[in-house]
Structure 1
Amino acid sequence: MAVTGAIAVSLGAPAAAVAADVKPREGLRDLSSAFGHTQGNLALAAGTAPRIASAQAVFRPAAAAASAYTVEAGDTITGIAIRQGLRTVDLLTWNGLSWSSTIYPGQVLRLTASSSAQPAASTSAQEIEATSSTKSHTVASGDTVWSIAQSYGTSVDTIVSLNELGSDAAIYPGQKLVVASSAVPQTQPEAPESAPAPEAAPSEESYVVQAGDTLWSIAQEHGISVSELLATNGLNGSSIIYPGQKIIIPAPGGTAEPQADEEQEPSSPPSIYDSPQDQLTSSLNAPQTENAQLIIRIGRELGIPDKGIAIALATAMVESSLRNVDWGDRDSLGLFQQRPSTGWGSEEQILDRDYSIRVFFGGPNDPNGSTTRGLLDIPGWQDADFGTVAQTVQISAFPDRYGRWEQQAYAWLAQLG
């Protein structure tokens, strides 16, 4: 028996130690196919060898490992976890993320568990229920739902629930988010008696915005005009809608009045132009960056001075948020919201970004000829006020908005041009 015990100790103990150390890495075979990696590549990235000779061969993060990581282009949650020697589920948990959450460049992820980690969503809901008033936060450049939740001592799930955001909803500078409310916890669908939601008039119905929706598509689906939809919800041509947002749909031909601020919280975030801040700033996503680069490239090709290119960037930001949209006020379309009915070209031409940019710049190379007046057709434009030049081309109902993007437009030009 003594000999048998010695053999068991010498043979069985190391194997058990190895198995215990390897256990946290179990599941890599399943995760590799789920995230598009081959088994060999994932094993190589994780630092695991085909065979583990001893417990010391198992990878462990260094004691002085970083506590945070800034997401870079092309990163995935699983890839970050592997490189940092972590389990994907831990990385998700520490950052309040789910398996369907989206990460993006510049986002800061926590790499360690914190002793001050937030409690479960149910606990946060109870704490919020105990508060005496509603708290809101205006999103600033660089904010994430997770960082806002950390700042206010709540959870990501709570903010998503309070603001009816979808799992893939994006937030943006100037958006107002409710971060704490005296309402009942998020597990209950209805608002409390103390703060009842206003009922829609019998001639109205509500619609929850889905991913890919536009104001134009919603209006078309419900047989109303975009202007009716804007007026009913207190929106304007520059308003942005997002998944999960509730939109009031008036009856066709109805005369529903916009909701008054003092009667209820607006169903959409206020316009960024409501802020008293003089200059506005914004980061650009991939499609916006591509459109900005195209404006700069064509401007350089035509020999447009920096001021003219910056004016074009600011104008496109005001008119379409630097997106080539196929809808707008009345028949306005494209980057600069040019209208076929006023001679800027056909719908197909205006939605051609190259065409619409050259028409905006105008001058001797204007593909629209002398039918419309572009930037280069304005006498003395180089010495005129930045916003005034843009307004002279666009003839907008909001002439003061262009100048508020002047500094940011020059920054984009310096970065991308």
Structure 2
Amino acid sequence: MSRSRTARLTTARLGLPATALGALAVAMLPSPAAAQEAAPVAREGVERVSLGAAASSTGRAPVTVPAHSAAPESVVVQPGDTISAIAARHGLRTTDVLALNGLGWSSVIHPGQVIRLSGASAAPAAPAPAAPATTTGYTVVAGDTISAIARRHGVSTQAVLDANGLQSSSIIYPGQTIAIPAATAPAPAAPAAPAAPAPVLAAETVTLDDEQIGNVRTIIAVGRELGVSDRGIAVALGTAMVESWLRNLDWGDRDSLGLFQQRPSTGWGSTDEVRDPVRATKAFFGGPSDPNGSRTRGLLDIPGWESMSFAGAAQSVQISAFPDRYATWEAPAFGWLATYG
């Protein structure tokens, strides 16, 4: 059959002119540009979103979105923030955030302070949480600390804190029941790492602002009025710095409030009373002028407090989970007393 006759028969069967068939055949062939567009393209750090036929028909390039977003250059400290919490919130390492801001592990931050994040490295992935362990109850007695309770039961301090929903700054009280997690087998010892340089203590360089200075003067004035010794006043100053950064806080762990983070629920006074700096200071000192009477025990009510260490005297009143923190502020407290007293 001749080529021309074949074309005529094909045209007849399709009901289309030969010229239309030729155009249709050409249109069905993939163009070089379309073929190139269909090839997969790998781009580092970018996740491709396919638009399917719609992208091909419009001729637009495929849409791409970032695989992840970077941390902001800085953040403003909010009530309750810690450096470790800020770092974790933005996927960064605590040590890098401390270094970027010239801070040490014992540095104090306060609401409104700006913390730089730009340049900090991402934190390593956290290990999978361990299965919850069986716990037993323990009743706190006077002089107890979380670390001492943990050692006594052969578990880590952090395990006891986690089991009770406590933080390193939390305060425990006689009569309180503490959950003790079951001891776990020790992990194989890792090779000893080189000793890191000791962090610079915030106490060595801290500068008080007007609010803090005002509260220092109040504590000194109350102590002088009650006839408290210089050492007792210094203990009160150091305690207030650890508990509230020498600020009359309206928040804290559970219902803790004020300069000394006293708790209305444990007999230290009403919400308004524990946030009265003069009354709170008198309650901390205790003695015959204690506004709480015998409901709470102040520094002057502790037998032999004068012969205790600085941290021990503060701890005898506060019953903190981490009593060693008070020792950091012994020298600065005496310095504030000499400057503002």
Specify the TM-score bucket, using the shorter chain as the normaliser: 0.3 to 0.5
| TM-score calculated relative to the size of structure 2 | 0.45
Higher relative contact order (CA 8 A, sep 6+): 2
Structure 1 length-normalised TM: 0.38
Larger Rg computed on CA atoms: 2
